Amino acid sequence: MASTPLPNVAYFCMEYGLSDQLKTYSGGLGILAGDHLKGAKDNNLPIVGIGIKWKHGYGRQVLQDDNSQAYVFPDYDYSFLKDTGVEVTVPVAGHDIRAKVWLCDTFGTVPLYLLDTDLPSNPEPLLTGVLYGGSPDARVAQEMILGIGGVRALRALGLDIDLYHFNEGHALLAAFELIREKMDAGASYGEAVAATKAEVVFTTHTPVLAGNEVHPIDRLVRLGADRGLGADRLRALGGDPFGMTVGGLKLASKANGVAQLHGVTANQMWSHVEGRPHIHAITNGIHRPTWVDDRMLDAASDDDLDGLWAAHQDNKRALINLIESRVGVTLDANKLLIGFARRAVTYKRANLIFSDLERIAPMLESGQIQLVFSGKAHPQDKGGQALVSELIAMTKRFPQSVVYLPNYDMEIGAALTRGVDVWLNNPRRPKEASGTSGMKSAMNGVLNCSILDGWWPEACDHGVNGWQIGDGFESPDPAVQDAHDAASLYEVVLGEVVPTYYDERAQWKQMMHNSIQSTRDVFSIKRMLEHYVEQLYLPAVAETA
């Protein structure tokens, strides 16, 4: 890391994936945030995390007989969190909402402070109950707890912060609190905005316009989320309706996307935003101690291809045992096992491999190809839920070769990214920002077979360390793009992946070795954090020195 003194950074995120014991995450954003804090701990970076203690998590998925899904919301046991003794107040729609501050310093992380409104004095409904749950008003109120309450928690804890890192637009309201602090101390609005911008950096993750959060300005003002700035100032900062990403970019001195391709996409997407910083491309990385089997790293370092294969087969059998215990299906450790696991949204196209059943069905019926899927849809995402229903229907059509694992979580994610033979990824380019599950797989000797989207264009050496699907084709017509990509998927899976696995085992082992060696450092959290320090943190504080 840099020799220049590092700034004290407060990292704000709506979700954190540190351990399955802490159900404060839904997917990739939270897993990245958890890895960010673990990497900061490993590398002695002066970072603290600010988040929310979600009492019911994101929701537990329950499969129904008709292939649909229901969601239940348990009360999780977070007794391992430490009581800081600190409470803060956040004014929400005229009510003073109290938030207790808990400390998580287990799971190998820098201090993570979690705000909790589950207090008897607060009115119902519980604001910190369900991650991404509730009405639009509740969503804004949750972000007020994170942003406004987070800044107040830092003050109450006596922490000296130089830089505020907003991981996505959910944290933007912290900037409004920073502006209000400065105005209350005598600064003009313009002075307060300039000073706040100098101490904020912003990471955007979502290359799909519809996925970038917006709110009517009157909602933000009515709830008090604007901290008294007023409708006109909000309109100038984020448009009307107010865009949280637009506001995040305009109130940051430095910004980044999360892969090289995503950097290009993000700069194009937000080219109309006046006064925003250039969006740097800092490719995500993963925390190897959390996600990667040391046996695989060691065998690759020693060029021990047989040892590599033996360790992988151990992981594959462990995954098969997990599958059997969860859904009662026993897969064959000697047959090709392809995994697909990620948040269930339509653009990720989990069903693409079933596009031409006449071509794929014989391979599934013979067991030459086995498929395991996992991934939850948001409880309000009907398209994502329909996609999962389609996958479940395929498990009934091919009961010995197609599996769906419900309740995708860190345990399942770790087992899959270690235990399958191939990691399949086929989003509609360029709609995937990064895709860290593919990095985890690659470092575990699992061969990626992916569309050239997210991180994979930076890593893929076709036929050497994995395979690319197609040629980076994009179309404004989803049907055209899907047809093109489905044809490319069948060409590479049936024409290259299957023959290599069954007929060229020595080549397969060498590709596993190449996969590990070509990704283990470049896509590690250590490299990612070095880039954050060099491209965001140090330049941001240097400009204010």
Residue 462's pLDDT is what?
Answer: 98
* Sheet of strand 422-425, all strands in order from the earlier edge strand to the far edge: 402-405, 369-374, 336-341, 422-425, 447-451, 466-469
Model confidence pLDDT, tens digit, residues 228-247: 999 999 999 999 999 999 99
Model confidence pLDDT, tens digit, residues 18-74: 999 999 999 999 999 999 999 999 999 999 999 999 999 998 999 898 988 899 999
Low-confidence ranges of the chain (pLDDT < 50): none
**What's the pTM value of the predicted model, to 2 decimals?**
0.97
Contact 344, 407 (CB under 8 A): no
Model confidence pLDDT, tens digit, residues 296-323: 999 999 999 999 999 999 999 999 999 9
Residue 378's pLDDT is what?
Answer: 86
Q: Is the peptide bond before 7 cis (omega within 30 degrees of 0)?
A: no
* Sheet of strand 112-116, all strands in order from the earlier edge strand to the far edge: 82-92, 95-104, 112-116, 47-52, 9-12, 163-167, 200-203, 254-257, 279-281
| DSSP assigned state of 352 | G
Q: For helices 505-519 and 305-327, what crossing angle results, to 10°? A: 90
Query: What is the 3 state secondary structure string of 67-80?
Result: CCEEEECCCCCCCC
- Is beta strand 95-104 parallel, antiparallel or unpaired with respect to 82-92? antiparallel
Phi-psi region of 186 (alpha: psi -120 to 50; beta: other; left: phi over 0): left
Residue 188's pLDDT is what?
Answer: 98
